[in-house]
Amino acid sequence: MERVIGVTGRRRRLEAVFDEVVKDGVRYVLARGSRPEVAIIPYEQFLRYQALDRQGGPDRVGRELARLAADHATLTDEGVAADVAAAIKEARAERAR
């Protein structure tokens, strides 16, 4: 759950915000006017995001989606329906044993 706070309205409450982030895992988005500009998140979450970034997280997801699309480019609705029907028939036959 994120909370949006304006920069000018919360300077006095910085310590309370800090405590909520550290103790309760609350995430804050700091906005200037109505434009979000900064996120305050627990440090452990920040470290996880850094590790994902170093591993090429978003790029890996994009490559995997492209691979899946290529693998399934030749599928047709009829072919998928036939595969599903065959799987159901096989599962029912196994259950009947």
What is the CATH classification number for the domain harbouring 28? 3.40.1620.10
For the cut 60, the answer to whether the pLDDT of residue 1 exceeds it is: no
User: What backbone torsions phi and psi does residue 65 show, to the nearest 5 degrees?
Assistant: -65, -40
Q: Report DSSP letters for 50-95, one per residue.
A: HHHHHTTHHHHHHHHHHHHHHHTTT--HHHHHHHHHHHHHHHHHHH
Q: What is the pLDDT of residue 64?
A: 77
Under 8 Å between Cβ of 3 and 26: yes
- Global pTM value: 0.48
Which position has the higher pLDDT, 68 or 95?
95
Count structural domains, the chain. Answer: 1
The radius of gyration of the chain's CA atoms, rounded to the nearest angstrom, is 24
Q: What is the pLDDT of residue 28?
A: 87
> How far is CA 47 from each of CA 8, 25, 33, rounded to the nearest angstrom?
28, 14, 29
The domain of 90 spans: 2-96
Bridge partners, residue 40, by sequence: 28
Query: For residue range 29-85, what is the model confidence (pLDDT) as tens digits?
Result: 888 888 888 889 999 988 888 887 777 766 777 777 788 788 777 777 787 788 888
Using pLDDT thresholds of 50, 70 and 90, give the confidence band for residue 5.
low
